[in-house]
Amino acid sequence: MSSRVVAAILLALGAVLGVQAWNTHLVAKGDAQGAQRVHSQWKAAEAKREGDAARLQAENERSERAKEQAKQKEAERIAREQVQREQAMRSAMAAADARNRSLHTTIAQLNADAAARVPSAGQAACSAADIDGATAARTALGQCSSRYTAVAGVADQLAGQVAGLQDYVRSVPTGGTDGH
């Protein structure tokens, strides 16, 4: 073989090896660039996911705080209304007691007037029995009025408690699938 043929073979072999080395270098460079691009996309997706999760958590916390504040305001409203009902009930009881005392005063005055008019021995016995009957009826009326006032006071207290409890029950959520 001549030196020219050997040189041409060596030159061709060098060119092939050079092209293969260049090709390997380009593939490695492309792999590195692809890996870097995938890594940066993964980082961006991870950052977006973490940001979305943080926003969702912050939104959930705001929502929970708003719910708690609404519950607190509702409880305060119920308490205010309960106090108002109790004050109205105490005023009504005071007025009923005053009317009842006035009734007892009137009954006592009528009974005293009737006792002053007790018939003398010469008058009919029927008249004394009528006075005693009227006195007994007035006394019974006074006792019934006192008992009625006491029963009404207890009923008003219970009605106020029931109203407060019903308000509270209406304001409490019925519960759902989220465990609250």
pLDDT tens string for the chain (180 positions)?
688 888 888 889 999 999 999 999 989 999 999 999 999 999 999 999 999 999 999 999 999 999 999 888 988 988 898 899 889 999 999 999 999 999 999 999 988 888 777 665 545 555 666 667 888 888 899 999 999 999 999 998 899 889 888 888 887 766 555 544
The number of folded domains in the chain is 1
Q: Is residue 27 part of a domain?
A: yes
Q: What is the Cα–Cα distance from 142 to 104, expressed in whole angstroms?
A: 6
Q: Is residue 121 part of a domain?
A: yes
Q: Is residue 176 part of a domain?
A: no
Q: Token match 């991870």: residue?
A: 46
Q: Token match 């008992």: residue?
A: 147
Q: Is residue 177 part of a domain?
A: no
Q: What is the Cα–Cα distance from 99 to 148, expressed in whole angstroms?
A: 12
Listed in sequence order, the residues at least 6 apart from 18 whose beta carbon sits closer than 8 Å to its beta carbon are: none
Q: Is residue 74 part of a domain?
A: yes
Residue 139 belongs to what domain range?
3-171
* Residue of 36, 78, 103, 106 lying closest to 165 (CA atoms): 78
Torsion on CA atoms 103, 104, 109, 113, rounded to nearest 10: 100
Residue 106 C-beta-side C-alpha neighbours within 13 Å? 10
* Residue of 151, 158, 160, 153 lying closest to 83 (CA atoms): 160
Q: What is the Cα–Cα distance from 83 to 80, expressed in whole angstroms?
A: 5
Q: Residue 179: its pLDDT value, please?
A: 47
Q: Is residue 180 part of a domain?
A: no
DSSP annotation of 120 reads P
Q: Is residue 179 part of a domain?
A: no
Q: Is residue 144 part of a domain?
A: yes
Tokens of 49: 């996911």
Q: What is the Cα–Cα distance from 129 to 134, expressed in whole angstroms?
A: 9
Tokens of 104: 């007892």
